[in-house]
Every structure is written in structure tokens, then in C-alpha cells.
Amino acid sequence: MAYPVVAIVGRPNVGKSTLFNRIAGERISIVEDTPGVTRDRIYAPAEWLGTEFRMIDTGGIDMGDEPFLTQITQQAEIAIDEADVIVLVASAPEGVTDADEKVAKILYRSKKPVILAVNKADNPEVRETVYDFYALGFGDPYPVSGAHGLGLGDLLDEIVKNFPTDDGAPKDDSIRFSLIGRPNVGKSSLVNALLGEERVIVSDIAGTTRDAIDTKFTANDTRFTMVDTAGIRKRGKVYENTERYSVMRAMRAIDDSDVVLVVLNAEEGIREQDKRVAGYAHEAGRGIIILVNKWDTLNKDNHTLTDFENLIRAEFQYLSYAPILFVSAKTGQRLDQLPALIKRVATNHKQRVQSATLNDVIMDAIALNPTPSDNGKRLRVYYATQVAVAPPTFVVFVNDPKMMHFSYERFLENQIREHFDFEGTPLHLIERARK
């Protein structure tokens, strides 16, 4: 499922990160009064009245000693590239500034909905200045206070109203998958090998892919849509000095996918960046396959494959359910197995099991390994039912959810996996007290 993306832009110190955190419902971006303090998390899920979307906090752009207006331009250009809706944040106490007008001129060219949020409008005196912001040309300004949560309902209503719709579009029943990984792990070569054509430019220079285009193809009578994640669309030299936007693009591609292929480079081994993006795919509940590319480049013996697999399992312990495939884009080794594996994982991701069969498995598991007790009180499991797919989600009704230790929950999950084929997909177990 493709989630709409909202970018929050504006000059430094207008309260973008405060607004971002308030809408996200948690303190993600660092907030200080010093301009340009945001450095890390710039991407977060959000929800308003049942509508889910993704947010970008463009305050995280750090271009070193480049001029102030260049930084603003880069923020706006990134928002234009990535967002479905753009929120321009200004500061009520400071009024309309030259910098606000510069940002506005760039956003005029975006051809995307731009909503003007006038932040720090905490009192009646300051609110009177809001009318000045009509001069920016984006219609009604929305007075808000990120610090106190004032006016956010009206702002969010307007944001959601401007999301793109799929009305009238043909239903896409293809399996959507994406390839994610660090630059130069061979994603583009894998794309070309899968499609049997030079679909994307391949180079030994890391980060050469610039355009993200979904590609449809058919294999073994199954239709697939490959979500291109290669990293960094180029607008001038906007992204050349930062890798965080390749991560952001990968995150969006993950949200758009049924199955995610985590691509590793056999020559270079496993890096922290691999674990970071794979962790997001796991948290997002997507089906996952681990692809070890450039397998042809290693000098191998009888233990090489097993040793590498053991290393992956140790470094990605939370992906114990994900199948591993050792491939070579250059020689085509094992790539013929990939479409069938993607289809199997996608099927498992949407699998639903009958409650009666599920409860037989749960009760047999409890007989095999009785529930834990604490201070003379024993955890009682009454019944379980599957409430969702993609990923498969189960609610387990118990007498006291606090007594469900992590280790016992993992035991129940493993028992479910032993009896049903959920290879490649995370499972979510939720404990509820029976009323």
C-alpha cells in the first residue's frame, strides 16, 4: 500500500520539528531554539482520523557552510521531489520574511498542493498578524501552535483533503516488491538481470541511479511490480552531500511493497546501514527476503555458504523468518528461483488461518510448555484469533496481558510457524484481557 507523503518545509527556527513531532505523536526530531539543529530522524509515520500517511521533516538538511538561501532552496526541492502534499511553515511573531517569500516562489513551481501553517500563533495579538501571510499566495493560512497543539485539527483536515486518490484507477493485483540496500550492493544489476534487459544504468560508482520508476513484468504467469528504490533522484546537486535521502526513499519504497528484498554485498559483508533499513522493513510488517549478491566473486569452500548464512542470522536475529538466497546478477546464479520465492512470501504475508485450527495449535503448545506463573498466579490463555493479514496478526485472549513474558510469546509464535507456512513474513501477536 502506497501511503501519501507530507513534507514540512520552511526556513530554520520557525518550529518545523516541533510541528513534526506533534503530528507524529512522539518526540522524534530534536527540538532546540538554535536554527538547523535537526540532524537525524527526518521520516515518520502519522495518522489522522483513520488516514495513514508519512511525514518528512526537511529541517534535517545540513549543507555545511553553504549560504542560508541555498539550504532553503534544497529543502524546498527535496519536498517537491518526495511529497504529495507540502506544508510551508512560517512564524507568526516574525511575520512574512524575505526567506518565506523565496521558499514560496520555489514551491509555486511544484504543481503540488501547498498548505501554509503559521506557527507560534499562541495568543490573540500574534494571531492578528496571520492575515499578512495571504501575501504568500497559498490561500488561507492556518494559525497553529506546534508547542501547544492548537489549530492542528483544521490543518490536518486540509492536509488529508489534498491527498491523491485512486478513484477510477484500475485495480493493481500484481505483487509489489522492492530491492533495498546500501549503494553499490548491485541493486541495479539485479534489476537488469531479472528483466533481461538494460533497464537501469549500471555503474561501479556508488549512487549512480537517479530516477525511481516502477517496473511491471510477468514471470511464471505471475504479474510483478518492481518498486525502484535505488536511491537518489537528482535535482541539480541537491542530494550529493547526504545519504539520508536514499534511506528516506528506501523507506517510502518499503511502504509501497508487499515484499522487500534486502540486498547484501557478498564482497563487503554486513554494514550498519543494511541493518537499519532492514529493521524498518521488519517494523513496517513487510514480507522480507535476504539476497546476498555478487556470490560469484568469493573464493568458496564447503563451509562458505553455511558460514555466511550463520553470520546473517547472528546480525539479523529479528529476521529469523526471512529466507536467504545467494545470487549473482552477473552470472544469473539462482535468480531463476527468485520470482517463485517472492510469490510464496507474498502469499504467506496474506495468509489467513482458521480459528479452530489455530486454537488447536495454541492449546497443544501450552500442553507442551505450560504458561508461566508469577507469585502464585498463572497466565491463562483462553483462545486466539487472527484479526489481520499483511502481516498476519493474532490476538491472544488471556487473564492478564502483563504476565505474557516476551519469551513465552516468542514460543507461541514459533509454534504457529511450525504448523503454518509463514516463511518470509513477520507475525504480530497482541495480548488482550478477556472481558
Instruction: Determine the residue type at 254.
Output: I
Q: Does the annotation list 80 as a binding residue?
A: no
Is residue 162 part of an annotated ligand binding site?
no
* Residue 231 in marked binding region: yes
For residues 114 and 107, is the Cβ–Cβ distance under 8 A? Answer: yes
Beta strands in 12-165, from DSSP E residues, in sequence order: 43-48, 51-57, 85-91, 114-119, 142-143
12 among the known binding-site residues?
Answer: yes
User: Is 57 annotated among the ligand-binding residues?
Assistant: yes
234 is in an annotated binding site: no
Asked whether residue 51 is marked as a ligand-binding residue, the answer is no
Binding site annotation covers 48?
A: no
Q: Annotation-wise, does 310 bind a ligand?
A: no
Does 67 carry a binding-site annotation? no
187 in a known ligand binding site: yes
The answer to whether 120 is a known ligand-binding residue is: yes
Return the half-sphere exposure (C-beta side, CA atoms, 13 A cut-off) of residue 363.
Answer: 9
How far apart CA 426 and CA 405 sit, in angstroms, is 19
CA distance 405 to 259: 30
Report whether 228 belongs to an annotated binding site.
yes
Query: Any binding-site annotation on 25?
Result: no
Question: Does 90 carry a binding-site annotation?
Answer: no
Is 216 marked as a binding-site residue?
no
Q: State yes or no: 151 annotated in a binding site.
A: no
How far apart, in whole angstroms, are the C-alpha atoms of residue 285 and residue 426? 6
Instruction: Write the CA distances from 390 to 198, 258, 350, integer angstroms.
Output: 32, 8, 5
| Residue 185 labelled as part of a binding site | yes
Q: Please, are residues 408 and 371 in contact by the beta-carbon 8 Å criterion?
A: yes
**What is the residue type of 347?**
T
Helix H or strand E segment including 296: none
The answer on whether 293 is annotated among ligand-binding residues is: yes
| 259 marked as binding residue | no
Q: Taking a C-beta distance cutoff of 8 angstroms, is the pair 404, 396 a contact?
A: yes
The Cα-based distances of 21 to 61, 84, 147, 342, 364 in angstroms read: 17, 19, 9, 36, 45
Is 183 annotated as contributing to ligand binding? Answer: yes
**Residue 229 annotated as part of some ligand binding site:** yes
Is 61 assigned a ligand-binding role in the annotation? Answer: yes
Q: According to the annotation, is 45 in a ligand binding site?
A: no
ω into residue 391 within 30 of 0, thus cis? yes
Q: Is 375 annotated as a binding residue?
A: no
Q: Is 157 annotated as a binding residue?
A: no
Annotated binding site for GTP: 10-17, 57-61, 119-122, 181-188, 228-232, 293-296
Annotated binding site: 10-17, 57-61, 119-122, 181-188, 228-232, 293-296
